[in-house]
Chain A
């Protein structure tokens, strides 16, 4: 299957700082990427849909000013958690959709905000 990478795999930051997470589709071009969040013992929750060259579409209840998404190329989308707080600590997972369309997921980024 297609490969999607995420960087970093884990990050620890202080409250109030911003954190950027990168998502790359390594062997295919993805016009659409997705960002999910997963809390312990819960299922994945879709946060937003990212389309190359346009603004992201956020799910209800997700603050677009807090979770900034940029999809500047067909292989790269970034999620920036601005002014992070302990309640933002979670497992963030991206996915990229290939032409089939099938979504392939990255390995996830564990964010811990102190």
Chain B
């Protein structure tokens, strides 16, 4: 399984963009990058996924480097409700394996 590396924690200011990095240097050509987040005591919430191209939806943008060895999730205008653990996952064999993720704290 391709593994991912994320910083354990990061703070960001309310109203500012939050840029969450993820390294996945062993990703295979047909593996997708998925992002989920988990707010305390809730099930994970799907955010976005991508293969090669950058992707954007109503929640976030996903920037994948050309060599696909890393990606960045961008929350354009962070709010207090975005405080959560964010997981970057390389999708392999139809099973999502969760690492430790990045604990993001949005501060007023």
Binding site for B on A (CB under 8 A): 1, 4, 6, 32, 34, 36, 43-46, 49, 91, 93, 95, 97, 101-108, 110
Contacts and interface: CB of A to CB of B under 8 A. Distances in A.
A89 B94 CA distance: 27
A12 to B, nearest CB: 16
A101 B96 CA distance: 11
Given A43-B100, A102-B49, A49 B44 contact: no
Contacts of A97: 94
A103 B96 contact: yes
B41 A108 contact: yes
Contact of B42 (A4, A34, A46, A107): A107
Contacts of B87: 43
A45 B49 CA distance: 21
The binding surface of chain A is classed by DSSP as strand
A44 B99 CA distance: 8
Contacts of A44: 38, 44, 98
B95 A105 contact: no
The 10 closest A-B pairs by CB, nearest first: A105-B43, A44-B98, A43-B98, A105-B44, A108-B43, A93-B43, A107-B43, A106-B43, A1-B46, A103-B96
The binding surface of chain B is classed by DSSP as loop
B28 interface: no
A19 to B, nearest CB: 18
Interface of B: 34, 36, 38, 41-46, 49, 87, 94-101
A95 B96 contact: yes
B34 to A, nearest CB: 8
A43 B94 contact: no
A112 to B, nearest CB: 13
Nearest to A42: B100
Contacts of B49: 102
A93 B44 CA distance: 9
Contacts of B97: 46
A108 B36 CA distance: 15
Contact of A102 (B38, B46, B99, B100): B46
